[in-house]
Structure 1
């Protein structure tokens, strides 16, 4: 599996928001990352 094509700054921001190490963000499948971000948005709205 290829690493995600995101910038270092984006990876750092995502790791802070999701509470996940940067290495895990870079090797996370894209659909799982999108799912986690949508869950974060739902929690933010409530």
Structure 2
């Protein structure tokens, strides 16, 4: 399996956001990475919806 074709800056930001080591991220299968990114996006959207409901 070849490493992901993403920029070093993107890889560092993703590794920090997903809380995984950079080396593990670079060798992560693409479909797993996309799934984790979708989960992260859902987590970021939830606090925004709660704030809207409170106002």
Using structure 1 for the length normalisation, give the TM-score: 0.94
Question: What aligned pairs does 1:7-18 form with structure 2 within 5 A after superposition?
Answer: 7-18=7-18
> Could you say which structure has the higher helix fraction?
2
Which structure's CA Rg is the greater one? 2
Question: What aligned pairs does 1:1-46 form with structure 2 within 5 A after superposition?
Answer: 1-46=1-46
Runs of 5+ unmatched residues, structure 2:
47-55
Runs of 5+ unmatched residues, structure 1:
none
Cα distance between partner residues in 1 of 2:26 and 2:40:
18
| RMSD of Structure 2 on Structure 1 (CA) | 0.5
Higher relative contact order (CA 8 A, sep 6+): 1
Equivalent pairs, count: 46
